[in-house]
Amino acid sequence: MNRPFNMPDEFVEAFVKAGASLWSALGWTPNADRNGAGFGAAPGSPGRFAELQADHLMRLYQLTEHALKSAAGQPTEVAIEPARGDRRFSATEWRDNSLYSLLKQCYLLNSRYCTDFVEALDLDEKEKHRLRFFTRQLVEAMSPTNFVATNPDAIKIATDSEGQSLKAGLDNLMADLGRGSLTITDEGAFEVGKDVATSKGAVVFENDLFQLIQYEPATEQVAVRPLLIVPPCINKFYILDLQPANSFVRFAVEQGQTVFVVSWRNPDDSCGHFGWDHYVEQGAMRAIEIARSISGADKVNALGWCVGGTILSSALAILRTRGDESVASVTLLTTMLDFREPGDLGVFVDEESVLQRELTIGNGGIYRGAELGFVFQTLRSKELIWPNVVNHYLKGKPPERFDLLFWNADVTNLPGPMYCWYIRNMYLENNLRNPNRLMMCGMSVDLGRVDLPAYVLATVEDHIVPWRSAYRTTGLFSGDTRFVLGASGHIAGVINPASKNKRSYWVSSERCDEPAAWLAGAEERPGSWWNDWIAWLKPWAEDQLPARRQLGSNLYPPGEPAPGRYVKAKAT
């Protein structure tokens, strides 16, 4: 039986383990009797816990005093305010109505106490990280804005609509329970190939794993060496080609690049045997070979994003071991190669959970994209889950029309063997960073053999690939590496169009062992990292030649128009 909203086993198991860690930290034993025997003092500094409790009680007392004075019409100071950027309490009632103000501040004080209490516990860092993550989930779930009776906006809309908003919200809830997932956007508002993924091009190759798309030139002259993009296989490639105004593909083409993009197949049951080696050799390495053949260039420039960057880096290590010099440079966008600090995704990975997946789908089967999508939503529940719950269920509003959320909801499956191998060898055992620890495609893998010029981008608020983890790539490759730190997160930090000149990025020519030392000496520059990257790429793209209007070649003739049919397939 499927759990509501595609909650995967890993989430439930991690939640239970977080609870067990908390009970253990509080000194609970299975033999605790009903009088409380079996509970001991929480490990940690007793003085610190006493401090926390005293401070919390004092603030609650001040808040009570504030509420009484406010009710009597006396001027008072607010005890605590939401963090900057927290838009949950933007309605005027949370500020002007004394009861709502009291409710808000009680919630914020209790939230801070829960968070501080977890930080004060003396736990193994991995256990504390898991407990920290689920404490945040519970704290965000218990916000008074998430309940009809304590959300002034929802009450006002229900009153104005004579209850129709509540009826619509209930209908929305029942529809989502029926489909098994939370609606986060209007999934009928966009059509792939018509509204998003609209850059002109054609499929020039396909196998059972991917289609290779070549895009039409937009300039009279193009660089001799083409650009090959390897996107993540856990999402669809058109995040790089949403709409013309924010399309990275369009930007690269307009800068005179001949662009090829790998469009991974959305696996169904017939793909349940694919492993990691398939993605490396029949995926990235095959795409490099074909892009080079079609362009007629001596080498290609390769770019990988997230898991696509991990696949590409593995392929490059193998190619360099074989003496293959068909790649001139590599660009990695928010990619992890050293998994010692895996961020919040590490919460869901331990020996027990990985072994369970290996026993069920490790030798064949599919890991459902809807389950993976739920996990990614929990990483940003305050932005991706609870606002949609409030708008969709409490206020009865239709989902919003937003291209980025449309892409986010367009999930992809993963082949079980590939997923299990990746989770064990990367997240659980962190084998890739160790020279010759792993065998891929019949060869030992050493990232140190990747002696190419490399452009490594991380983003400062990335919740999937922490920037400090991405920085460690600079110590794994042996070529000249330029590390750039962009503002914002995993998606918005990458899709930051140069034309809008938003945000900023940090650069430094210094090579430091520790990420913090690098950041301390880095220079912040305004605008998009796209301009910095294209300037870096040009020397490796070589000279210009007249653009060819005919896509493909005699050996690889153009087929169906971009974006191809693979990207349009829905996860089943």
Q: Which residues sit opposite 439 in a β-bridge?
A: 444
Q: Is 306 a catalytic residue?
A: yes
Matching residue, tokens 């198991």: 13
- In whole angstroms, give the CA distance from residue 446 to residue 317: 6
DSSP β-ladder status, 201-206 and 210-215:
antiparallel
- In whole angstroms, give the CA distance from residue 76 to residue 88: 23
- In whole angstroms, give the CA distance from residue 372 to residue 267: 14
- In whole angstroms, give the CA distance from residue 62 to residue 56: 10
The secondary element (H helix, E strand) that includes residue 230 is: strand 227-230
Going from the C-alpha of 66 to that of each of 52, 81, 428, the distances in angstroms are 21, 13, 50
Please report, to the nearest 10 degrees, the dihedral formed by the alpha carbons of residues 319, 325, 327, 331 taken in order.
70
Matching residue, tokens 């050493």: 446
Please report, to the nearest 10 degrees, the dihedral formed by the alpha carbons of residues 177, 180, 186, 191 taken in order.
-150
Matching residue, tokens 């959305």: 266
Matching residue, tokens 């914020």: 108
- Angle subtended by helix axes 369-379 and 9-25, to nearest 10: 40
Structure tokens at 59: 């603030």
- In whole angstroms, give the CA distance from residue 555 to residue 122: 63
DSSP code string of 353-415? HHHHHHHHHTTS-EE-HHHHHHHHHHHTHHHHTHHHHIIIIIS-PPPP--HHHHHHHS---EE
Within 8 A by CB and 6+ apart from 146, the residues are 386, 389, 390, 394
Annotated catalytic residue, options 106, 306, 441, 512: 306
- Classify residue 501 by its DSSP letter: T
- In whole angstroms, give the CA distance from residue 9 to residue 354: 11
DSSP code string of 408-439? HHS---EEHHHHHHHIIIIIIT--TTSTT--E
- In whole angstroms, give the CA distance from residue 511 to residue 325: 26
Which of 412, 209, 215, 212 lies closest to 306, judged by CA?
A: 412
Beta strands in 288-337 (DSSP E): 300-305, 327-333
Structure tokens at 64: 């009570």
Q: Alpha-carbon Rg of the chain, whole angstroms?
A: 26
Going from the C-alpha of 565 to that of each of 191, 193, 213, 290, 323, the distances in angstroms are 12, 9, 11, 19, 35
Which of 382, 491, 476 lies closest to 432, judged by CA?
A: 476
Which of 249, 246, 284 lies closest to 264, judged by CA?
A: 284
- In whole angstroms, give the CA distance from residue 337 to residue 470: 7
Instruction: Write out the catalytic residue numbers.
Output: 306
